[in-house]
Structure 1
Amino acid sequence: MKKMTCQKGFTLIEMMVVLLIISVLILIAIPNVTKHSATIDEKGCQAYIKMVQGQVEAYRIDKKAMPVDVADLVANDYLNEGETTCPNGKIIEINSGVVSEVVVIETVDGP
């Protein structure tokens, strides 16, 4: 039997320390990613509303009238079918030629 005197590698303690450091870094990074995701969704919705507002103006110029609702824009090929909500799923509406996000007020039913 030969005795190995020069063994190279990581010990179990060293591997556990490395995994601990990686875990702490991940725990720090995940909340920042989710916070930025919400901001990106909100900015995406604002950009989509501006784009739909541009389509409302194009409709007004072409048809000499304001569209009644988003379905009117889809019917006349100003918007694609299935692309009538914000990227984050919020519903948009048209009131007097102004595009806005529908605000849903949640109520809690009492006894």
Structure 2
Amino acid sequence: MKNEKGFTLIEMLVVLMIITVLLFLAIPNISKHSQTINKKGCDAFIEMVQGQTDTYEMDYHSWPASASQLKDEGYLTKTVCPNGNSVKIDSTGHVSEDTSN
């Protein structure tokens, strides 16, 4: 009689089932962390735009009308957060996320 070593079909199916269950548990956590990363990235971007807004005010003694004006003047290279929302600047120079998009 030959001594053949290997996995049976049942053993392979059990391993595939375990891997599938682990994937089903991991995928929602990955998407949740992606949203958190985008939110933190947007918060950091807003702080950076706030700094550029303050710099613009020091240079021109007035607040910029919009983030696109900062981009046109060379203070910014983009006006959109990592999550896709743009930023807005109010009349007092306060920068916030524009969630109306």
Q: Which runs of 4+ in 1 moved over 4 A?
A: none
Q: Distance in 2 between matches of 1:26 and 1:92?
A: 36
Provide structure 1 residue ranges, at least 5 long, that are not aligned to the other structure: 106-111
In the TM superposition, residue 72 of structure 1 has moved relative to its aligned partner by 1.3
Higher gyration radius (CA): 1
Residue matched to 2:72: 75
Task: Give TM-score scaled by structure 2 length.
Answer: 0.92
Question: Aligned to 1:65, which of 47, 58, 62?
Answer: 62
Task: Give TM-score scaled by structure 1 length.
Answer: 0.84
CA displacement 1:57-110 (0-9 Å, x = unmatched): 111112222111112101110001xx11111101211002011111328xxxxx
Count of residues paired in the alignment:
100
More helix by share: 2
Question: Aligned to 1:33, which of 25, 30, 54?
Answer: 30
Q: Are 2:18 and 1:11 aligned?
A: no
